[in-house]
Structure 1
Amino acid sequence: MSGAAQGTRQRRPRLHPLVGTARNHIKASLELLGDQPDPAAPAPLLLVACSGGPDSLALAAVAAYFARPLRDGTQRWRVGAVVVDHGLQPNSADVARQAADQLAGLGLDPVLVRQVQVGQPGLGPEAAARTARYAALDQAAEELSATAVLLGHTLDDQAEQVLLGLGRGSGTRSLAGMPERRGRYLRPFLGLRRQDTEELCALAGLEPWHDPTNRDPKFLRSRVRTEVLPFLEEQLGPGVAEALWRTARILRADADYLEELAGREYLRLRSETASGLELDRHALAELPAAMKHRVIACAAAELGGENPSYERLLAAEALLQRKGSAGPVQLAGKVSVYRKVRGGPVAQDERGYGNLVFRATGPQASDTTP
């Protein structure tokens, strides 16, 4: 065999730089799971949550690489997918079936299609769809004993999330955007642009579905995507989305650190008494405002409440001033907080007067006002 022929046989197709970058993003994300799989054990399963859109379809195409056997014949990971059919479009079943066919063509196994019912009292359409989707993904992950579920959110999604938080006047945690990992869920593509995922689909010969609701102006996120971000790019110059993404990364590190400190302070200040869950008034009053609010939020969370709004946190903090009403202040998630006073129906010791008391909301909460 001539040298030229031998060189031709050994030459490998050149890897597209974007594909290499996307693989590195997934590899870095998988490292967040901790110890890498034991080569001697059965390969753990990764599930890609796929809608058939460009982001999740591109994620599936790149993730399929990690299911390839190594040179020694072992397999690092198995990669499957879950297609959630929300039933919100007339042709949703066809879209889900087409997505499943393309995923199977990529070599993913298993590929599940799950139909869900969207519509919960008290939730908007987007929140209801998200709740139903994650319930289906959780169930599939449990059934298949999946190690992780990969989500296709991109840098653009993160930028939109930060803008939505700014519009609501949210705090550090909300402005930190979506985490790269939360429990079993991983978001490997938070560093890639939406146009990158469209190019990845084209490189893989895939035909993504474009959800019409993503451009429907009746949805707030759609208006941010199609109107607000383009306007900011036009007025401020290119790079706004990347700047918002960097902001989220910086604020996430800050939020993680502050919440760790707040958790320690909360354990130091809290006690359980006949009145309820109490926070010592003197120690709480000495904390900086940022820490004080987080400690109050910790107490609400322990009782099953939601993260209180800034206005509710200020109202709870005002109880420490021992002026005006002793409460209760109602916090989201059916939790009330009041200031402990003399003459209440619950026996109190002298040291507890003025403490903040938290209770799951019930008829007795209103009986504690002086």
Structure 2
Amino acid sequence: MARLPPAVAAVRVAVRRSLADLPGGGTVLVACSGGPDSLALAAAAGFVAPRAGLRAGLVTVDHGLQPGSAARAAELAGWATAAGLAPVEVATVTVGAAGGPEAAARAARYAALDEVADRYDATVLLGHTRDDQAETVLLALARGAGPRGVAGMPAVRGRYRRPLLGLPRATTIAACDQLGLAPWQDPHNTDPAYARSRLRSALGELESLLGKGFRSNLARTAELVAADSELLDEQAGALLSTVDKDDGLVVAELAAAPRALRTRALHAYARRLGAPGTDLTAGHVAALDALLTDWHGQGPVYLPGAITVRRGDGRLTPPLPRV
């Protein structure tokens, strides 16, 4: 029996571990752009999932941002069908402008993935690698995003899983080569108009200065920070449950809590009131915290989603219900 090529084996092992806790009979959908990461993931899922009692399918999102995108999506869908993946779907989306081109494309993509996954009650596999994680951490540091940003992308969040976070991009490229697959090279990945593309170029220079373990160290940092953040989030949730009364948050109890827990509790409180997570900033949370720790009679804090939080009678109170 021929020995399995090492990169193919590495990707299959990563997928097998990621799917190990899923009950048999379910469906996994690979979100595939046709690039080397998601193409290697799709090939591995098509092999691993049936052996785990799961159905493996594929969904590719056509953003319509480049000439020939519809034809490429159709070609990828044809490959997936011939490879035995099912269901296979092409989701065509219209990309808006909110938040800039990268954020708008991402929002449209995830909305499409959610819609398809809902129809099949499916788990969605994403092809992000260790290199993507390193880029995410570095972007978060540059933007001053704090622990949540530095924690990077989780391996599992809701229906989404990232089996390849522990593997370098070089492994997925090698796997495609070893399987005879010809991945699509997205020109946006080298377009300096996109922040992540510029960072990808800079990462190579940083690695030459700081050593070959630079990307791995960034990814490991994300893993360590994520573990700490998970524990702090649990403790902050318990704190919020304690101070959240019918008439608002108890100021004295919340103000006495350590800042790391207090600000997390306030972030969770804002989300609970309906503030969109994508629009809720550190500045909003800092303003809420000032109502606790730097109170001098200031007015209310205005949160995204037309939400107002004010202090009065020893409480932080949410918006009054509309009559």
Q: Which of 2, 14, 36 does residue 25 from structure 1 map onto?
A: 14
1:311 and 1:178 mapped to 2: Cα distance? 22
1:50 is matched with: 32
Matches for 1:6-21 after TM superposition, within 5 Å: 12-21=1-10
- What is the aligned-residue RMSD (CA, Å)? 2.0
**Aligned pair 1:82/2:42, yes or no?**
no
Give the aligned residue type for 1:20: A
Once the two structures are overlaid, the 10-residue window that deviates more, 186-195 or 134-143, is 134-143
Q: Which of 249, 254, 276 does residue 223 from structure 2 map onto?
A: 249
| 1:115-167 superposed Cα distances (whole Å, 9 cap, x missing partner) | 111115x3311111111111211121222232x11110111111111111111
Structure 1 length normalisation: TM-score?
Answer: 0.82
1:322 and 1:112 mapped to 2: Cα distance? 54
2:318 is matched with: 358
2:91 and 2:56 mapped to 1: Cα distance? 17
1:155 and 1:356 mapped to 2: Cα distance? 42
3-state SS in 2 of match to 1:191 = coil
Pair member with larger Rg:
1
Contact residue 335 and residue 360 of structure 1 kept, 8 A: no
Alpha-carbon shift at residue 269 of structure 1 (Å): 0.1
Q: Which of 157, 168, 179 does residue 204 from structure 1 map onto?
A: 179
Contact residue 66 and residue 76 of structure 1 kept, 8 A: no
3-state SS in 1 of match to 2:164 = helix
Alpha-carbon shift at residue 287 of structure 1 (Å): 0.3
Q: 1:232 to 1:154 in 2, by over 3 A?
A: same
1:89 and 1:248 mapped to 2: Cα distance? 33
Q: Which of 290, 296, 307 does residue 318 from structure 1 map onto?
A: 290
**Aligned pair 1:95/2:72, yes or no?**
yes
**Aligned pair 1:128/2:104, yes or no?**
yes
Q: How many residues align?
A: 321
3-state SS in 1 of match to 2:86 = coil
Contact residue 162 and residue 244 of structure 1 kept, 8 A: yes
Give the aligned residue type for 2:282: Y
Contact residue 46 and residue 78 of structure 1 kept, 8 A: yes
1:170 and 1:269 mapped to 2: Cα distance? 27
Q: Which of 322, 328, 346 does residue 300 from structure 2 map onto?
A: 328
**Aligned pair 1:309/2:312, yes or no?**
no
| 1:39-65 superposed Cα distances (whole Å, 9 cap, x missing partner) | xxxx32211111111111010111111
Give the aligned residue type for 1:332: P
2:32 and 2:72 mapped to 1: Cα distance? 11
1:288 is matched with: 258
2:149 and 2:46 mapped to 1: Cα distance? 32
Q: 1:103 to 1:309 in 2, by over 3 A?
A: same
2:45 is matched with: 63
1:85 and 1:211 mapped to 2: Cα distance? 12
1:310 and 1:327 mapped to 2: Cα distance? 19
